[in-house]
Amino acid sequence: MLETFDLRTVIIFFIYGLAFFSMGLAMMLESRRTPLLAEARVLRPLAFFGFVHGMHEWLEMYLHIRQWFKLPILPMTPWLRLTLLVISFSALIFFGMQTFLPSSDRFFKRHAALSAAFLLLYAFIAVLVGISHQHQLTLQLEEADALARYMLAVPGAGLAAFALFRQASQTTIQRERFRLVQNLHLAALCFGLYACTQLVVTRSDLFPANFINQAAFIRWTGIPIQMVRALLAIFITISMIRASQVVEDERRWQFETDHRQRLEAMQQAQRDLEEKEAMRRELLQRTVMAQEDERARVARELHDETAQFLTALTLNLVALQKKIAHDTEAGKILEQINALSRDMSQGIHRLVRDLRPAQLDSLGLVAALQYLADDASRQAGLKVDLQIQGHRRRLDPVIETVFFRIAQEALTNISRHAQTSNAWVYLTFEQQQVILKVVDQGVGFEPHNVGSKSRWGLAGIAERATAVGGRFQLESALGRGTVVEVIIPTPDTSQGNQPEDGS
């Protein structure tokens, strides 16, 4: 019967120590995370209590196993057992004070001082009791153990219970975390009962150990007090771990909420950016159209008024020249004036075509590009090979204007900087987009090291393409020529499905 009882006691001590050690590990891990359950400085004393008290119970288990296997025992082992007990319950007192009282830096020293006062009072009384039992080491240790439970364990566990109740009430006020409140209440209740079990100590002459002791408890209940403590330790550990899990769930929920809010903020920022980009493109498009409208107006005025005046002037000069044909000197002067008038008329006509070629409005993009190629050949001596691919069709007037101006700028850059006499213009009609590519085999350049004038020209091409939702791509290298490519989407429109004139 004794062996069965001892085996059961060993198992109880093992489970008892494992429960508190597991709680210490859980609280230590929780103290290293975001302080939602409690601050790290509050949880660490509780974790320290779990570790040390768990080792104390495992040392008790070793002392029982030692009797079976006749294992040696060091002289300091009983004192080590008492030291672990005192240190663990001192940490529990410190935990209770930090949780119950404010835990700012201003109160930290006060908590430590109060905990030290408990410890010093216990040490003083333990020394007095030990003096009364000189040469009786067993009695000294038993009464020191009883005093540690009366003066440290009972107030420590009681403070812990009261502190956890207070923490639960604060949690209810701050957040509706009912599972956390329930687990904190259960842990507090178990700590309160655990404080009561610490009144049951080894029988001695010390009051009230001579009435309430382990032997009497076994007579009354039939079970050792260690079993009750182990069960309470299990409930405390389970409650604190569940409270930690609730906090972890809330921490995860907060993380997901913050992540969702950041994602929504990023999406809103993306939408705002897209709206601003759309407004910018619309503004650029309106700017391009305003420029083209102004060019068209100036071209019409030059064509309708100035050109007509010059034509009338030329006709009048011819008539005047016939009337004074007998005056050779005057005829020469009139001939010079007539030549200047013709040159002026041709310059104005060329200016009108540069401002707004009539082919672009009446015949479409292909005809305008052909005119541009012919004009480059006449004016700059640049041989331009224009190649049209795909099914030709009229595009939106804005898109046609953008393509024409980009091709005009690209050919101008070739004639000025490429040092070549050949260029190729490719216009490809696809179902959902149109591609313009201007190629030369000139000297080329490094795109990142271009001059200010060329940079502004390329920026103008890019801005025009972007204004209609297109993409601009530039490829160039020294000695390898240049490729300017613009891709513009062309959604189906009523005008876009019409073939070009003459196609």
Express each pLDDT in 328-347 by its tens digit.
777 777 777 777 777 777 77
Supply the pTM of this predicted model: 0.57
The larger pLDDT score, comparing residue 281 to residue 51, is at 51
Here the CATH number for the domain that contains residue 493 is: 3.30.565.10
Q: Of the candidates 470, 384, 469, which has an alpha carbon nearest to the alpha carbon of residue 426?
A: 384
Do 222 and 90 share a structural domain? yes
**495 belongs to a structural domain:** yes
What are the two backbone dihedrals, phi and then psi, of residue 439, each rounded to the nearest 5 degrees?
-125, 140
- Report d(CA 178, CA 246) in Å as an integer: 9
* In-domain check, residue 353: no
Maximum mean pLDDT: which of 34-48, 228-242, 336-350, 434-448: 228-242
The strand pairing partners of 77, in sequence order, are none
Q: What total of structural domains would you count in the chain?
A: 2
Q: Which of 20-29, 41-50, 60-69, 145-154 is the least confident region? A: 60-69
* Residue that the structure tokens 């080491």 belong to: 137
Co-location of 246 and 383 in the same domain: no
Write the CB contacts of 197 (distance below 8 Å, at least 6 apart in sequence): 225, 228, 229, 232
CATH of the domain at 93: 1.20.1070
Task: Determine if residue 392 is left, alpha or beta; phi over 0 gives left, psi from -120 to 50 gives alpha, anything else beta.
Answer: beta
Q: What is the pLDDT of residues 303-333, one digit of tens each?
A: 666 767 777 777 777 777 677 767 677 777 7
State both tokens at 353.
Answer: 């075509």
Residue 305 lies in a domain: no
Neighbours of 136 (CB within 10 A): 12
Look up residue 356 and give its two tokens.
């707004």
**Rg of the chain over CA atoms, in angstroms?**
49
User: Do 241 and 390 belong together in one domain?
Assistant: no
Residue 36 lies in a domain: yes
Please state the rounded mean pLDDT for residues 283-296.
74
Residue 463, both tokens: 């801005």
In a domain, 355, yes or no: no
Buried b (16+ CB within 10 A) or exposed e, 267-289: eeeeeeeeeeeeeebeebbeebe
Confirm if 444 and 265 have CB atoms less than 8 A apart: no
In the chain, % of residues over pLDDT 90: 21
Rounded Cα gap, residues 474 and 466, in angstroms: 14
Half-sphere exposure of 375 (CA within 13 A, CB side): 17
What's the residue count for the chain? Answer: 503
DSSP 499: P
The residue-averaged pLDDT of 416-432 equals: 90
Where do runs of H (alpha helix) occur along 381-432?
397-413
Judge if 259 and 406 occupy the same domain.
no
Can the peptide bond before residue 75 be classed as cis, meaning omega within 30 degrees of 0? Answer: no
DSSP readout, 228-272?
HHHHHHHHHHHHHHHHHHHHHHHHHHHHHHHHHHHHHHHHHHHHH
Q: Give me the amino acid identity at 127.
A: V
14 and 58 in contact (C-beta within 8 Å)? yes
Last residue within a domain, chosen from 238, 265, 292: 265
pLDDT of residue 117: 65
Q: pLDDT tier at 194 (50, 70, 90 boundaries)?
A: very high
Residues 18 and 135 in one domain: yes
8 Å CB contact between 91 and 48: yes
Q: Which helix (H) or strand (E) holds 487?
A: strand 482-489
The verdict on residue 317 lying in a domain is: no
254 with 384, same domain? no
85-110 CB burial, b ≥16 within 10 A, e <16: bbbbbbbbbbbbbbbbbebeeeeeee
pLDDT over threshold 60, residue 131: no
Q: Which of 499, 471, 464 is nearest to 485 (CA)?
A: 471
Final residue before a domain boundary, out of 231, 246, 265? 265
Q: What's the domain range around 383?
A: 363-503
Q: Which of 265, 300, 316 is the last residue of a domain?
A: 265
> How confident is the model over 441-491, as pLDDT tens digits?
888 888 776 555 556 777 878 888 887 888 999 998 888 889 999 999 987
Q: Are residues 247 and 377 in the same domain?
A: no
CB atoms within 10 A of CB 70: 7
Q: What is the percent of the chain where pLDDT is above 70?
A: 79
pLDDT higher than threshold 90 for residue 17: yes
Cβ neighbors of 243 (< 8 A, separation 6 or more) are: 37, 180, 183, 184, 187
Closest Cα to residue 430, out of 360, 363, 492, 367? 492
The one-letter amino acid at 173: I
Contact 140, 129 (CB under 8 A): yes
Q: Is residue 281, in this structure, part of any structural domain at all? A: no
| Tokens 């804005």, residue located | 398
- Say if CB 491 and CB 398 are below 8 A apart: no
**Same-domain status, 239 and 370:** no
Cis peptide before 208 (omega within 30 of 0): yes
Helix (H) / strand (E) element for 476: namely strand 471-476
Q: Calculate the dihedral angle through the C-alpha atoms of 42, 48, 49, 55, rounding to the nearest 10 degrees.
A: 170
Please say whether the beta carbons of 421 and 381 come within 8 A: yes
Query: Are the CB atoms for 310 and 344 separated by under 8 Å?
Result: yes
In the chain, what's the furthest Cα-to-Cα distance?
A: 160
pLDDT at 135 over 60: no
Whole-number pLDDT of residue 227: 93
The mean pLDDT of the chain is 79
Whether residue 261 sits in one domain with residue 378: no
Sign of CA dihedral 440, 446, 451, 452: positive
Q: Is the pLDDT of residue 52 over 90?
A: yes
Residue at 275 is within a domain: no
Q: Residue 429's beta-bridge partner residues?
A: 434
Q: Which residues touch 10 (CB under 8 Å, ≥6 apart)?
A: 61, 64, 65
Q: Which of 2-6, 42-46, 195-199, 363-367 has the lowest mean pLDDT?
A: 2-6
- Residue 425's beta-bridge partner residues? 386, 438
